[in-house]
Amino acid sequence: MKDENCTFCKIAKKEIPAHIVYEDNNFMVFLDINPQTPGHVQVIPKEHYRWVWDVPNIGEYFKIAQKIALAQRKAFKTEWILSRIIGDEQPHAHIWVFPAGDADGHKGDLHGNAKKIIEVLEEVKN
Distance (Å, whole) CA 59 – CA 35: 26
Looking at the DSSP assignment, which residues form a beta bridge with residue 64? none
Burial (CB < 10 A; 0-12, 13-18, 19+), residue 108, is exposed
Per-residue model confidence as pLDDT tens digits over 11-23:
999 999 999 999 9
Per-residue model confidence as pLDDT tens digits over 25-82:
999 999 999 888 889 999 999 999 999 999 999 999 999 999 999 999 998 888 889 9
Q: Please tell me the predicted confidence (pLDDT) of residue 69.
A: 95
What does 13-71 look like in DSSP terms, one character per residue? TTSS---EEEE-SSEEEEE-SS-SSTT-EEEEESS--SSGGG-TTHHHHHHHHHHHHHH
CB atoms under 10 Å from CB of 50, counted, come to 15
Please compute Rg for the chain using Cα positions: 14
Pick the most confident of 61-65, 89-93, 107-111.
Answer: 61-65
Looking at the DSSP assignment, which residues form a beta bridge with residue 20? 30
More confident residue, 105 or 27: 27
Confidence of residue 105 (pLDDT cuts 50, 70, 90): low
| Ordered structural domains, the chain, with CATH | 7-125 (3.30.428.10)
What predicted TM-score, i.e. pTM, was given to this entire model?
A: 0.85
